[in-house]
Amino acid sequence: MSFISVTDITNMRPTQATVGTEVELLADVVPSNATNRVIEWSRVSGVSVSFRTTGAGATYRTFMTFNESGTVTLRATIRNGAQG
């Protein structure tokens, strides 16, 4: 089986959330048959947020809660996206 690299992460959602309400962070991985499709989320800048993750492998999920009102910039990266 050959390694298929991720070329893009698109359609990141949600784009809005309410302070104190937990939301699941979702996005589409391109191509859909990439070898590793697990997305890791991180805060780049903006207001304080909390992250919670569950599962492993294909069931890995990330949830975020805004701790205060405002804007946040997030980064989505592929976990262990390199071959080897």
Residue 83 has pLDDT above 70, yes or no: no
Domain boundaries, the chain: 8-78
Residue 78 has pLDDT above 50, yes or no: yes
For the record, the structure tokens of 83 come out as: 């071959």
pTM for the whole structure:
0.87
**Closest listed residue to residue 76, CA positions, set 32, 10, 3, 24:** 10
pLDDT mean over 65-70? 96
Local confidence band at 81 (pLDDT 50, 70, 90 cut-offs): low
Q: Tell me: the pLDDT tens digits for 14-59?
A: 999 999 999 999 999 999 999 888 999 999 999 999 999 999 877 8
Q: Return the residue matching tokens 């070329």.
A: 7
Local confidence band at 77 (pLDDT 50, 70, 90 cut-offs): very high
For the record, the structure tokens of 74 come out as: 């997030």
